[in-house]
Amino acid sequence: MGQYKGRKENAVESMKIEAEAKVVGGYPTIIIKKSILQEIKEKLHTDIIKIKMHNHIETTYYWSLQNIDRAANITFRGLKPGKYTLEIEPYDKYRFIKEFNNLIREKHNIRLWIEKEKLILHKSEKLLITDKWTFEKEHGGAIHIIAE
């Protein structure tokens, strides 16, 4: 059998892939091939995906599918041998803001939201609004919002 088998839970919200880390070049490795990445992009209708890799620990990765035609595959290397579950879901500015608000609210009195394509920041008693902002993923994996 192949390295992984697909198990789709909800074609719109997420996909799960069961994978076995196989030794490639001396290292346990999981490879998500280009054909699967194209299928993910079509089924999830997104340019950025969030990949949660579950084994003995959970690790989260973010991946851009914008230039998928040029990419060959995604390779996770140096893993511990064994079976992994990869949970893949679309990731967009709304999910980013929801996660940001959940993480930051315990430490700071800050809240972000989007209304009519305007980014709104509520900090203490101040309300800051801008329509000059972008949501993007850097090559190194970071996802951020840049606002003026």
Q: Residue 81: exposed, middle, or buried by beta-carbon count in 10 A (0-12, 13-18, 19+)?
A: exposed
CA dist., res. 67 & res. 35, Å (int)? 13
pLDDT for position 10: 41
Residue type, 35: S
120-138 exposure pattern, b = at least 16 Cβ within 10 A, e = fewer: ebeeeeeeeeeeeeebebe
Its pTM stands at 0.73
pLDDT digits (tens, 9 = 90+) for 66-79: 877 776 788 999 88
| The CATH classification of domain 4-90, taken from the options 2.60.40.1180, 3.40.50.1110, 3.40.50.720, 2.160.10.10 | 2.60.40.1180
pLDDT-derived band at 88, boundaries 50, 70, 90: very high
Phi and psi based region of residue 110 (left: phi greater than 0; alpha: psi -120 to 50; beta: remaining): beta
What rounded mean pLDDT belongs to the chain?
A: 83
pLDDT for position 105: 83
pLDDT for position 29: 92
User: Is residue 24 a contact partner of residue 70, using CB atoms and an 8 Å limit?
Assistant: no
pLDDT for position 141: 67
Delimit the domains of the chain by residue range.
Answer: 4-90, 93-147
